[in-house]
């Protein structure tokens, strides 16, 4: 008996852009580089990767709008509500997705990697070291 692969789905605030991914999520991590901050409006972005071959856009809007944020990276967002959805690196066989746009963001847990931690606002760093 073969096990059905786990499915992950998500989308933007307005539902125009939706996606579905199957298979093993990789490299769940946080990033607080200034690009992630100004792109998302948040103190950090939680990212996770999925193989492009296991990934599809399923919403009425199809693919998100894209902004070229660096030489090889495009950042995808909803042209309707502005939701920050993904990053696609040229020539890379995976897509990076923002964990908080998944329908069940609690399932995808960032690992120890916290990129550009020093760029995060000081009040945010102080805050995440404190339990609620
Ligand atoms: Zn939207
Ligand atoms: Zn970043």
**What ligand has the least distance to the C-alpha of 39?**
2
Q: How far is the CA of 61 from the centre of ligand 1 (A)?
A: 9
Burial 69-85 (b: 16+ CB within 10 A, else e): eeeebbbbbbebeebbb
Specify the CATH number of the domain 7-128.
2.170.150.70
Q: For 11-30, how does the pLDDT look when each residue is reduced to its tens digit (9 = 90+)?
A: 999 999 999 999 999 999 99
Q: How far is the CA of 60 from the centre of ligand 2 (A)?
A: 28
User: Where do the domains of the chain lie?
Assistant: 7-128
Q: For 30-42, how does the pLDDT look when each residue is reduced to its tens digit (9 = 90+)?
A: 999 999 999 999 9
Q: 117-126, long-range: CB within 8 Å, 24+ apart, which pairs? A: 117/30, 117/32, 119/32, 119/33, 119/34, 119/37, 120/32, 120/37, 120/43, 120/44, 121/43, 124/32, 124/43, 124/44
């Amino acid at each position: 008996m073969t096990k059905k692969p786990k499915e992950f789905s998500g989308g933007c605030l307005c539902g125009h852009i939706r996606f579905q991914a199957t298979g093993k999520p990789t490299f769940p991590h946080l990033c607080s580089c200034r690009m992630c901050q100004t792109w998302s409006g948040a103190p950090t972005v939680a990212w996770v990767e999925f193989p492009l071959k296991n990934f599809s856009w399923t919403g009425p809007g199809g693919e998100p709008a894209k902004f070229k944020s660096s030489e090889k990276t495009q950042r995808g967002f909803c042209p309707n509500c502005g939701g920050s959805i993904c990053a696609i690196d040229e020539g890379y066989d995976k897509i990076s997705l923002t964990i908080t746009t998944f329908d069940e963001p609690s399932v995808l847990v960032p690992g120890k990697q916290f990129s550009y931690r020093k760029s995060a606002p000081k009040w945010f760093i102080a805050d995440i070291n404190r339990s609620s």
